[in-house]
């Protein structure tokens, strides 16, 4: 008899699993249950449709139930909510949301791909009309219609994560005034604060009213009562909004699993093994609803991203079809465009490594996105975190107007294969002047790490400068006087790189010298000169650019 494989959730993970399963098993009965009216739609495209960049709604529908039925012989049941898993009888109960009829289907194997639902905090007034979260096309249509019908001009976005920032950008692009409220001191938590300073600057430059360290305490009606709201913040200021978007985070939509006594973690994420099997051997789980391993910190975590959900869909299908395949964890490789800037990251950041008790160092580079002499090059800031014992790469973050994506993709690939500084140096990456440099920023990062680990130069981080100075170290700025005029670290002596050899007598040989320039390259050269003359010195990684970015973040 044909195997019966039932799937709960018909978007990223569920639809991928169903399609792969059919390709591997022509005879299986595969039924996909989706609570909403659409399957396999482009969640990641929703903000861009709301902003008007994606013009046709239909483009968001990657597949339809009809196409999946015809092309893959899948039985796709939309508006069908799975309400219970009956593990003993290996069946599920489904409510047809159109007819309200409840029925049962038996399974040999069940895949849970229910995703994650937006967090809706219990803020007074949160139920008022005009306040939305964004998860699917139904939400998108509601927001679109509200903005049109109310002729909304002012928006408040609550939450500075990926979805919050995409919505802030897109609502602004649509012509609304936008305020962005973020509880902590920085947007985009996966990034370290000093890397995020250009993003804050870009938000402000583009006219977003950025409110950091602020929380919404209630939503009031405006007086006289209209359709707008007063969004009241914890400093008692308030912002008028015709539309409010909540982007506060998500939580695994896993109540089916917990009700069925499958193992879940404290945050509700379904626990799975390497083969994505749950605590019941007949039930698998994938996507935003599961707990995954962080390959760097070895901690269990949740990473709600489309790439992992899609890959897990394929892997689960392989395992069910008898092709044992391991899921090797989620690095959290992610990217965001915010107006003219792109910011991307992979692996662990400093906060995560510190929390996990992992010893690390970081190098900062500020190279050009492609050869500086070719028109259109933009500065790119790159931070690479590594193990100081063997140069193993632990994480990376990049921000700039161009080239962040490809550098982070290369480093993500490297981390996936256990890459070290030597690998980054050795990579042969494509190069012609419009695209990169003969020494790509990825190669350069490897070289800077090698120079440090091989004791050619000691590096210190921006956060260590104050302590070292208090312990008697002196600061040497090797930039040109014109650059120094734009700002310098208090108390530094300025001797441009080209004059160092002739002015050595001005430098106390018994002192510990912290050397910096604008991006770190000239100060590295200065360090090499000084150390070969017997001076004790170190290079401020990322130099003045990173130092001033960190200071502008108040860290």
* Cα radius of gyration rounded to whole Å, the chain: 27
Closer CB to ligand FAD, 72 or 163, in the complex: 163
Q: Which residue of 43, 369, 397, 523 would you call a contact of ligand FAD, by CB under 6 A?
A: 43
The nearest distance, CB 67 to ligand FAD, in angstroms, is 17
Rounded least distance, CB 269 to ligand FAD, Å: 11
Q: Which is nearer to ligand FAD, 118 or 367 (CB)?
A: 118
Smaller CB separation from ligand FAD, 245 or 425: 245
**Does 65 contact ligand FAD by CB under 6 A?**
no
* CB nearer to ligand FAD: pick between 137 and 492: 137
- Identity of the residue, 85 or 179, whose beta carbon is nearer to ligand FAD in the bound complex: 85
Q: How far is the CB of 100 from ligand FAD (least distance, A)?
A: 15
Q: Is residue 34 a contact residue for ligand FAD (CB under 6 A)? A: yes
Local structure of residue 271 (DSSP, 8 states):
P
Contact status: 30 vs ligand FAD (CB under 6 A): no
Asked if 361 touches ligand FAD (CB under 6 A), the answer is no
Of residues 30 and 448, the one with the C-beta less far from ligand FAD = 30
Residue of 306, 447, 469, 493 interacting with ligand FAD (CB under 6 A): 306
Q: What angle do CA 221, 223, 229 make, to 5 degrees?
A: 30
Q: Strand 300-301 vs strand 361-365: parallel, antiparallel, or unpaired?
A: unpaired
List 134, 147, 272, 421, residue binding ligand FAD (CB under 6 A): 134
> Per-residue contact track with ligand FAD, 74 to 93, x per CB under 6 A?
-------xx-----------
Regarding 404 and contact with ligand FAD (CB under 6 A), the answer is: no
* Interface positions, 452-491, toward ligand FAD (CB under 6 A): none
Residues listed for the chain: 555
Looking at 99-107, 284-292, 387-395, 489-497, which segment touches ligand FAD (CB under 6 A)?
284-292
Count other C-beta atoms under 10 Å from residue 65's C-beta.
19
Q: In this chain, which of 144, 307, 358, 450 binds ligand FAD, going by CB under 6 A?
A: 307
Other beta carbons within 10 angstroms of residue 341's beta carbon come to 20
Phi–psi pair at 211, nearest 5 degrees:
-115, 105
Residue 97 makes contact with ligand FAD by CB under 6 A: no
Nearest distance, CB of residue 12 and ligand FAD, angstroms: 3
Residue 199 token pair: 């993003």
Nearer to ligand FAD among residue 62 and residue 240 (C-beta)? 62
* 14 binds ligand FAD, rule: CB under 6 A: yes
Q: How far is the CB of 369 from ligand FAD (least distance, A)?
A: 21
Q: Is 276 in the site for ligand FAD (CB under 6 A)?
A: no
Specify the 3-state DSSP secondary structure of 304.
coil
Q: Which of the residues 44, 517, 537, 538 is marked catalytic?
A: 44
Closest contact distance (angstroms) between CB of 163 and ligand FAD is 5
DSSP code string of 168-197: HHHHHHTT-EEEEE-SSSSS-TTS-HHHHH
Q: Shortest Cβ distance from residue 426 to ligand FAD (Å)?
A: 29
Kindly write down the DSSP assignment for every residue of 406-460, as one continuous string. Answer: HHHHHHHHHHHTT-BHHHHHH------TTT--SS-HHHHHHHHHHHHHTTS-EEE
Q: What DSSP character marks residue 61? A: B
Q: Are 59 and 65 in contact (CB under 8 A)?
A: no
**Inter-helix orientation angle 193-205/543-552, to 10°:** 70
46 vs 362, beta carbon nearer ligand FAD: 46
Residues 226-255, one symbol each (x = binds ligand FAD by CB under 6 A, - = not), give: ---------------------------x--
Determine contact, residues 255/80, Cβ cutoff 8 Å: no
Q: Are 303 and 292 in contact (CB under 8 A)?
A: yes
Residues touching ligand FAD, count (CB under 6 A): 33
Does position 8 interact with ligand FAD (CB under 6 A)? The reply is: yes
Q: Which contiguous run of DSSP H or E holds residue 145?
A: helix 137-150
Cβ neighbours, 10 Å, residue 339: 18
The token pair that represents 215 in the structure block: 């929380």
Element (H, E) at 380: strand 380-386
Beta-bridge partner residues of 250: 118
C-beta of 401: minimal distance to ligand FAD in Å? 19
Output the CA torsion 360→366→370→371 (10° steps).
-120
Q: In the set 5, 6, 113, 517, which binds ligand FAD (CB under 6 A)?
A: 113
Residue 9 makes contact with ligand FAD by CB under 6 A: yes
Closest distance to ligand FAD from the beta carbon of 42 (Å): 8
Closer by beta carbon to ligand FAD, 60 or else 196? 60
Residue nearest to ligand FAD (CB): 287
C-alpha span between 26 and 469 (Å, rounded): 70
- Torsion angles phi and psi, residue 264, rounded to 5: -130, 160
Buried b / exposed e along 354-386 (16+ C-beta atoms within 10 A): eeeeeebbbbbbbbbbbbeeeeebebbbbbbbb
Q: Is 282 a catalytic residue?
A: no
Tell me the sheet residues that pair with 5.
Answer: 30, 109
256 binds ligand FAD (CB under 6 A): yes
Nearest to 180 by CA among 147, 204, 151, 150: 204
* Crossing angle (nearest 10°) for helices 193-205 and 162-173: 20
Is residue 190 involved in binding ligand FAD (CB under 6 A)?
no
Q: How far is the CB of 338 from ligand FAD (least distance, A)?
A: 12
Which residues are known catalytic residues? 44
Interaction site with ligand FAD (CB under 6 A): 8-9, 11-14, 33-36, 43-44, 46-47, 81-82, 113-115, 134-136, 163, 253, 256, 287-289, 304-307, 309
């Amino acid at each position: 008899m044909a195997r019966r494989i039932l799937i709960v959730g018909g978007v990223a993970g569920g639809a991928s699993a169903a399609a792969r399963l059919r390709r591997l098993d022509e005879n299986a009965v595969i039924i996909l249950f989706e609570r909403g009216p659409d399957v396999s739609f482009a969640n990641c495209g929703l903000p861009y449709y709301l902003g008007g960049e994606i013009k046709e709604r239909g483009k968001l529908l990657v597949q339809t139930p009809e196409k999946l039925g015809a092309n893959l012989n899948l039985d796709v049941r939309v508006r069908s909510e799975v309400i219970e898993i009956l593990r003993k009888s290996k069946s599920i109960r489904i409510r047809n949301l159109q007819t309200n009829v409840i029925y049962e289907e038996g399974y040999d194997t069940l895949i849970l791909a229910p995703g994650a639902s937006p967090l809706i905090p219990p803020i007074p007034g949160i139920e008022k009309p005009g306040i939305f979260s964004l998860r699917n096309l139904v939400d998108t249509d509601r927001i679109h219609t509200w903005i049109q019908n109310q002729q909304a001009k002012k928006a408040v976005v609550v939450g500075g994560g990926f979805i919050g920032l995409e919505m802030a950008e897109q609502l602004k692009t649509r012509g609304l005034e936008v305020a962005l409220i973020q509880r902590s001191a920085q947007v985009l938590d996966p990034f370290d604060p000093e890397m995020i300073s250009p993003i804050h600057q870009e938000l402000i430059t583009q006219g977003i009213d950025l409110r950091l360290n602020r929380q919404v305490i209630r939503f009031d009606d405006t007086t006289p009562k209209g359709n707008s709201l007063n969004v009241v913040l914890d400093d008692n200021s308030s912002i008028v909004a015709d539309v409010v978007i909540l982007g506060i985070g998500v939580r695994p939509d896993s109540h089916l699993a917990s009700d069925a006594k499958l193992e879940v973690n404290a945050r509700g994420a379904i626990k799975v093994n390497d083969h994505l099997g749950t605590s019941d051997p007949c039930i698998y789980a994938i996507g935003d609803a599961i707990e995954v391993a962080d390959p760097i910190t070895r901690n269990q975590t949740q990473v709600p991203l489309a790439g992992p959900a899609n890959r897990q869909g394929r892997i689960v299908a392989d395992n069910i079809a008898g092709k044992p395949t391991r899921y090797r964890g989620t690095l959290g490789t992610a990217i965001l465009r915010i107006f003219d800037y792109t910011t991307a990251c992979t692996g662990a950041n400093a906060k995560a490594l510190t929390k996990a008790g992992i010893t690390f160092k970081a190098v900062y580079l500020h190279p050009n996105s492609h050869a500086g002499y070719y028109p259109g090059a933009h500065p790119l800031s790159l931070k690479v975190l590594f193990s100081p014992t063997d140069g193993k790469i632990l994480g990376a973050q990049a921000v700039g107007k161009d080239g962040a994506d490809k550098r982070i993709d290369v480093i993500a690939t490297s981390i996936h294969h256990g890459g070290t500084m030597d690998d980054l140096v050795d990579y042969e990456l494509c190069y012609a002047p419009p695209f990169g440099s003969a020494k790509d920023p990825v190669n350069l990062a490897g070289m800077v790490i090698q120079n440090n680990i091989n004791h050619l130069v000691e590096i210190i981080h921006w956060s260590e400068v104050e302590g070292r100075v208090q312990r008697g170290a002196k600061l040497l700025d090797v930039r040109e006087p014109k650059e120094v005029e734009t700002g310098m670290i208090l108390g530094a002596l300025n001797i441009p790189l080209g004059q160092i050899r002739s002015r050595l007598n001005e430098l106390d040989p018994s002192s510990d010298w912290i050397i910096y320039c604008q991006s770190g390259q000239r100060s590295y050269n200065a360090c090499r000169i000084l150390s070969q003359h017997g001076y004790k010195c170190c290079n401020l990684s990322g130099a003045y650019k990173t130092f001033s970015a960190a200071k502008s973040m108040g860290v």
